[in-house]
Structure 1
């Protein structure tokens, strides 16, 4: 590698069976030998997320040398996700510097793209409302990746994809991080318009008058307790070369107080994130449009604010959902499934090949799978494809069943069904409820469908890690984009 002037040169360190292992680097043999002798004394382990700064070396042309951990590796092979995470952790740690150079092993174009994606995700910062910038470090403004693949003809497209996907994830994070005083149904719709500018998409916003007139009983019922009325936003991308017609449905509760079934105070603290599913769906559709993938994709953003008031729905109220099915509301804090039901019926009416919905739907998801792994339920073919896409994208999802014995627990004596049922396995019970609103295809078969419950991984209340910041994570955007790409690849 030619010596390049920069603020920091990053080399990778793996966690070996017998201690840290420096991977390929531009250091001279003498400098490398000297560095290896000091790794243990410096506390360098090669563990994922470890970033250690050292004084720069004359070999590098950089002010500082950075040793970045990639975790355990098999031989010298580093996975794309390890590189993505290492780049993200490094960019977070080096905030305040201007130019960072990565000189780490990249044996494929996808390795370079993963580094670029991780760097873009790791440098994300929310434009906070602090009145003072004291102590705040600006993100790194320039990243250089040294690779023998610099002239590969496929590299430019791969880097462009990384940029588009990272932009979509970061836009999702920003929407989630906005306080509910500034992001509510009307302004969420405005944000969707702004984000879609310049892209080949059609945006349709249904306001409360149209929702009421057309019988969107779920979303109107949930939103009727708020002074800020609901919106349904439809985002359509169509390709003349489309090989598939897909529908994504996202939960967009801009704040969830629980309604009349009000949450405890501590349970409301993070409820600005209850619109993360709709934000992910919006930005996934926009990313697909920006990539120009040969598919038709429609996103349905089911946006409402769930508040208690004299006009709010009550336990025992019965709502008539879009499409005519009736639901007895036994708990107003099980509101997400009500707005999603309307969206699923609307999506079904257009006869897509597949429906995928994304929602921060249940606390039971967190109990079952923790804060970093989403649950996926539905038709086996769709859930398996989503799991494969998530694995490729670097997101964690896990398939869960839809036990048939859960459906009777949703029976109601006064309506077609109730909005809550069996408490144990509540993540699956909620999915069983949603399943009732999936329509038939033109040939009379039930439309293939999957439900992603991202309640835990959509919002990070703990310390940042890898390329994942505190607060909004952008969970599921990368999985949805990878899923669409896989659909295209399978049609070839």
Structure 2
């Protein structure tokens, strides 16, 4: 869908559908009043009949109102609050989009400049509107014989005040790039694991590099990983027929002397749990265990579309965790790239094993900051549910930057502690560290494990086990998170 910004009186615009808001109690704002006056009070007359009360998300479609150039007017309820929350705005836009998708018109005008959203200016409000609309257009029917019918709506114009035009245009550009990144992340997450394996992700990386001159790719295979001493990474993959890959994507958008930001993504393309095998029920969803890597891909795609003036390195730790005669056993001890030895007490705690070696590899880039993203622990779902990502790290400034980015992008995270007391749960009588810390504080001890391999730079860890996908039923699928949070963090660093 194409998004445009336009400063013009909505009642004068020729369009298939004009969208305006109506407050609870049938209240019309300045923009809606101007539209009502242009059609000689036809909208007020409709409201007096009681067809629309203005409650949040209510809709009413009116056709052929004399005095307007719009073929239809879609009234959408904005509720009783003077200022909407982010969630309320998303509900309002979602309701309007649900109607627009079913109409025959090829374009629409959103005249919602009167809506006030708590803590958001024209830029912030537009970002949420466009991301919600673009994300709502997402479909994944690649493997269905019957494809979805093509939608008529192709262009959406955002009506705005002249003073806000530049901010609205910038917001629409940013939002479209983020939505494209989210769609890329969703596509990768939703692919079946028999197709989306480590080598497939490597080919996706090569494809991106071919399309962008300032992006270079290197793929480290088993031989190279062995040369590097990545014993923890290789231990995860040794039970699978699919070979592991560490994918290195290097984007140069800043000065050569600028230190890069590094994103590290967990890319377990299927996780059976290995010898510590998972229950069969719901195991199909373990194809989403690569959503950390997928979200790094999506963030990179957004950065490439915006050509942000930063240097960015993306490291994708890709492997498949399978049980076999060659698989790692509980009790095995492996040596990581850092030289630290790890006693593997549970082979289903494999994500931290591929990540620890990848975090060590990140040192060579002398980064400004390193952020790893992983569907790491079921404990994070217990703690925070499916709405908020878990956040830990070793640098308070970096943590605060990520929290602020999540708030700004409406893709929130919540900080969990990394107190030294939790580190003691990882003590092993036989190795430097155990790969699990017992049933208590599982998300935190996983973060503690990773922190042992991230001491040479500013580091943060995002546990997206609860936010990366929606489980079960017809709504099952990848969410594209935390692409908005990560892209906002990089936007904030680049001042683009």
- Same-fold status (TM-score > 0.5): yes
Paired residues of 1:179 and 1:272 also in contact (CA < 8 A): yes
Structure 2 counterpart of 1:425: 441
Structure 1 counterpart of 2:277: 262
Shift of 1:7: 4.2
Shift of 1:282: 2.1
Secondary structure of residue in 2 paired with 1:349: helix
Question: Do the aligned partners of residues 170 and 137 (structure 1) sit closer, same or farther apart at CA in structure 2, a change above 3 Å counting?
Answer: same
Is residue 2:63 matched to residue 1:56?
A: yes
For 1:60-139, list aligned pairs within 5 A. 60-62=68-70, 64-70=72-78, 73=81, 75=82, 77-78=83-84, 83=89, 86-97=92-103, 98-105=106-113, 108-133=122-147, 136=149, 138=151
8, 17, 28: which one pairs with 2:17?
8
What's the CA shift string for 1:18-37, capped at 9, x where partnerless? Answer: x5644432531412322333
What's the CA shift string for 1:228-262, capped at 9, x where partnerless? Answer: 11111111112343755311111111111111111
Shift of 1:433: 0.7
Is residue 2:404 matched to residue 1:388?
A: yes
Shift of 1:51: 5.2
For 1:234-249, list aligned pairs within 5 A. 234-241=248-255, 244-249=259-264
Mapped to 2, the partners of 1:140 and 1:219 lie a distance apart of: 47
Secondary structure of residue in 2 paired with 1:152: helix
For 1:32-43, list aligned pairs within 5 A. 32-38=43-49, 41-42=51-52
What's the CA shift string for 1:191-213, capped at 9, x where partnerless? Answer: 22223443221111112222223
Mapped to 2, the partners of 1:160 and 1:286 lie a distance apart of: 14
Paired residues of 2:236 and 2:350 also in contact (CA < 8 A): yes
Paired residues of 1:205 and 1:231 also in contact (CA < 8 A): yes
Paired residues of 1:123 and 1:140 also in contact (CA < 8 A): no
For 1:20-419, list aligned pairs within 5 A. 21-23=27-29, 24-25=31-32, 27-29=35-37, 30-38=41-49, 41-42=51-52, 44-46=54-56, 50=57, 52-59=59-66, 60-62=68-70, 64-70=72-78, 73=81, 75=82, 77-78=83-84, 83=89, 86-97=92-103, 98-105=106-113, 108-133=122-147, 136=149, 138=151, 140-149=153-162, 152-199=165-212, 200-241=214-255, 244-378=259-393, 379-419=395-435
Question: Do the aligned partners of residues 212 and 370 (structure 1) sit closer, same or farther apart at CA in structure 2, a change above 3 Å counting?
Answer: same
402, 419, 437: which one pairs with 2:453?
437
Paired residues of 2:53 and 2:77 also in contact (CA < 8 A): no
Paired residues of 1:334 and 1:420 also in contact (CA < 8 A): yes
Mapped to 2, the partners of 1:252 and 1:298 lie a distance apart of: 16
456, 459, 478: which one pairs with 1:449?
459
Shift of 1:43: 6.4
- Provide the alpha-carbon RMSD of the alignment: 2.7
Mapped to 2, the partners of 1:342 and 1:291 lie a distance apart of: 31
Mapped to 2, the partners of 1:417 and 1:260 lie a distance apart of: 20
Question: Do the aligned partners of residues 174 and 92 (structure 1) sit closer, same or farther apart at CA in structure 2, a change above 3 Å counting?
Answer: farther
Question: Do the aligned partners of residues 94 and 227 (structure 1) sit closer, same or farther apart at CA in structure 2, a change above 3 Å counting?
Answer: farther
Moved more, 92-101 or 265-274: 92-101
TM-score (norm 1): 0.87
Give the number of aligned pairs: 470
Paired residues of 1:10 and 1:65 also in contact (CA < 8 A): yes
Paired residues of 1:245 and 1:295 also in contact (CA < 8 A): yes
What's the CA shift string for 1:428-479, capped at 9, x where partnerless? Answer: 1111111011032xxxxxx221111111111023789xxxx75111111111
What's the CA shift string for 1:300-329, capped at 9, x where partnerless? Answer: 100111111111111111121122211111
Moved more, 193-202 or 170-179: 193-202
Mapped to 2, the partners of 1:421 and 1:177 lie a distance apart of: 31
Mapped to 1, the partners of 2:436 and 2:152 lie a distance apart of: 45
What's the CA shift string for 1:50-70, capped at 9, x where partnerless? Answer: 352424241555555433355
Mapped to 2, the partners of 1:78 and 1:364 lie a distance apart of: 33
Moved more, 381-390 or 140-149: 140-149
Moved more, 369-378 or 402-411: 402-411
Mapped to 2, the partners of 1:470 and 1:96 lie a distance apart of: 23
Paired residues of 1:315 and 1:329 also in contact (CA < 8 A): yes
What's the CA shift string for 1:274-294, capped at 9, x where partnerless? Answer: 111111112213322432323
469, 477, 482: which one pairs with 1:476?
482
Question: Do the aligned partners of residues 109 and 388 (structure 1) sit closer, same or farther apart at CA in structure 2, a change above 3 Å counting?
Answer: closer
Paired residues of 1:168 and 1:284 also in contact (CA < 8 A): yes
Mapped to 2, the partners of 1:125 and 1:319 lie a distance apart of: 43
Where structure 1 has 5 or more consecutive residues not aligned to the other structure, the ranges are 441-446
Question: Do the aligned partners of residues 219 and 140 (structure 1) sit closer, same or farther apart at CA in structure 2, a change above 3 Å counting?
Answer: farther
TM-score (norm 2): 0.87
Question: Do the aligned partners of residues 99 and 219 (structure 1) sit closer, same or farther apart at CA in structure 2, a change above 3 Å counting?
Answer: same
